[in-house]
Amino acid sequence: MLRPLSLWLALISHLPALQVVLPLAAAPVCALWRRGAGAWALATTVCWLAFGIAVLLLRQVQAIGTLSYAMGGWAAPWGIEYRIDALNAFMLLLVTGIGAVVITFARQAAVERRVRLPVEKHAWFYATYLLCLTGLLGITITGDAFNLFVFLEISSLSSYALISVGRDRRALTAAYQYLIMGTIGATFILIGIGYLYVLTGTLNMEDLARRLPAVTPTRTAHAAFAFLTVGIGLKLALFPLHLWLPNAYAYGPSVVTAFFAATATKVSVYVLLRIFFTLFGAAFSFGTMQLDWVLLPLALAGIVSASLVAIFQNNVKRMLAYSSVAQIGYMLLGISLVSVTGLTAAIVHLFNHALMKGALFLALGCVSFRIGSAKLEDMAGLGRTMPWTMGAFTLGGLSLIGVPLTAGFISKWYLLLGILQRGWWPVAVLVLLTSLLALIYIWRVVEAAYFRPLPDGRAPPQEAPLFLLVPTWTLALANLYFGIDTSFSVGVARQAAELLLPGTAS
């Protein structure tokens, strides 16, 4: 009787390691598979297991507070520590959840039409997907600054490879561009971490946070701060460093785009929060260095310009990619408020935006599965022939605009609350106006799908098969659920925001 119990307890205590090791170990096994179907089944199982682990971890964190796991039994400042608090437990849940839903969608039949790979190499696609997931989870869970860089590169390298297999040949140049800009960003982060190491002699984030305040007046600390800001800005597509994003999202396979749009930039936002709030501390980042006055104008410029550009796109995937740049602006706007409400808004929007963009891109994946294109003119009349797909798209679109009863409304609501607390009503007006811009570009798709006739001379496309519709609708319905019951998403986000801003009353 005792044995299974003790085994279970041992497993529970090693959950933080398993969270990363499981997908990492499964990736080469996937690559060895000769047929894509088997690799897909394994990858899907592993992703859902990782989701289960993330759920258990979040429950543990909520029950007993921050978890610390010493990798390989080496104690914290020397060994690599995995440190899980409310913020990254929430992020792990988001990344594994989206990862699991998207891989369920990415069955071989769905992948083979959108990916330029011979059938015998499909298994590699799933292996790379798992590696990318490993990298994103590693960035989120680690408490070691250099380990963060290594995981950042694991996720980045696999994402360049995943983008490059898109059907369109421009996917290759998009991946190349992403590789150049991503590597410059990662190298800037490496330089920043190096300066911090020179100053403090430690790489452990907890230890760094303790030692940094004594050395922050130095010029080296300021240089580290600048390098980290630009490096992370490149990674999270901060306007005007977002140039890699639209092409990478537009020409990558739909599955990959859905996964990245919902997770990759979000994890970079998490890195920004971790470094500027936990490591440097809000007092230095926003008091001394006044990062908020860098972020605020760039966030606003990004929101306005990317929303405007999105309106004029004819490729719907590209349109949503520009919309992603704008949405990242909303998150940065929340961060630049430097208040618990603002941070709550940013973290909630991070979560909700993953749900809406996931649903939108998966719905587009259904469309391109049937008609082989994501161009606006090709989507005419689809509302009648593919009602479920376009229904999911419309639901995701409403959430993106921020209509009440959808998740998007909740994030806009908290964002506006935070802005009005600071008394910046012109910014509040701007947020409302830019929501109207979102209405315009989503409306263009809805108008084409529901109010235009099917183009002549082509057999009307069928509704997407059930195995694609189920994951799409899972995310679409999540938008409704988290728009009505906000106790979980807002609750954890507020808990995380209070952790990031200790000692401030909300």
Whose Cβ is closer to another protein: residue 78's or residue 293's?
Answer: 78
User: What's the rounded Cα separation, in Å, for the pair 335 and 415?
Assistant: 10
Shortest separation between residue 479's beta carbon and another protein, angstroms: 34
Q: Does 175 participate in binding another protein (rule CB under 8 A)?
A: yes
Instruction: Figure out which of the listed residues 21, 31, 70, 191 binds another protein, where binding follows CB under 8 A.
Output: 191
Burial 137-159 (b: 16+ CB within 10 A, else e): bbbbbbbbbbbbbbbbbbbbbbb
User: What's the rounded Cα separation, in Å, for the pair 386 and 361?
Assistant: 15
Q: Quick count: other Cβ atoms within 10 Å of Cβ 224?
A: 26
Q: Does 180 participate in binding another protein (rule CB under 8 A)?
A: yes
Block residue for tokens 């839903």: 101
Burial class for 505, CB neighbours closer than 10 Å (0-12, 13-18, 19+): exposed
Instruction: Figure out which of the listed residues 113, 121, 170, 384 binds another protein, where binding follows CB under 8 A.
Output: 170
Q: Does 187 participate in binding another protein (rule CB under 8 A)?
A: yes
Shortest separation between residue 482's beta carbon and another protein, angstroms: 37
Instruction: Figure out which of the listed residues 14, 169, 210, 384 binds another protein, where binding follows CB under 8 A.
Output: 169
What is the number of alpha carbons within 13 Å of residue 462 lying toward its C-beta? 5
Instruction: Figure out which of the listed residues 48, 197, 413, 450 binds another protein, where binding follows CB under 8 A.
Output: 197
Are 479 and 73 contacting, i.e. CB atoms less than 8 angstroms apart? no
Site string for another protein, 109-148 (x = CB under 8 A): -------------------------------------x--
CA angle 262, 84, 353 (to 5 degrees): 20
> 3-state DSSP call for residue 480?
helix
Whose Cβ is closer to another protein: residue 14's or residue 170's?
Answer: 170
Phi, psi (5° rounding) for residue 83? -125, 120
Shortest separation between residue 82's beta carbon and another protein, angstroms: 18
Question: Computed over its alpha carbons, how large is the radius of gyration of the chain?
Answer: 22
Q: Does 249 participate in binding another protein (rule CB under 8 A)?
A: no
Shortest separation between residue 106's beta carbon and another protein, angstroms: 21
User: What's the rounded Cα separation, in Å, for the pair 495 and 506?
Assistant: 11
Helix axes 466-484, 340-371, angle to 10 degrees: 160
Q: Does 373 participate in binding another protein (rule CB under 8 A)?
A: no
Q: Does 261 participate in binding another protein (rule CB under 8 A)?
A: no
Instruction: List beta partners, residue 144.
Output: 204
Q: Which stretch binds another protein (CB under 8 A): 67-75, 185-193, 296-304, 365-373?
A: 185-193
Q: Does 228 participate in binding another protein (rule CB under 8 A)?
A: no
Q: Which stretch binds another protein (CB under 8 A): 177-185, 372-380, 464-472, 480-488?
A: 177-185
**Residues engaged in binding another protein (CB under 8 A):** 146, 149-150, 153, 157, 160-161, 164, 169-170, 172-173, 175-176, 179-180, 183-184, 187, 190-191, 194, 197-198
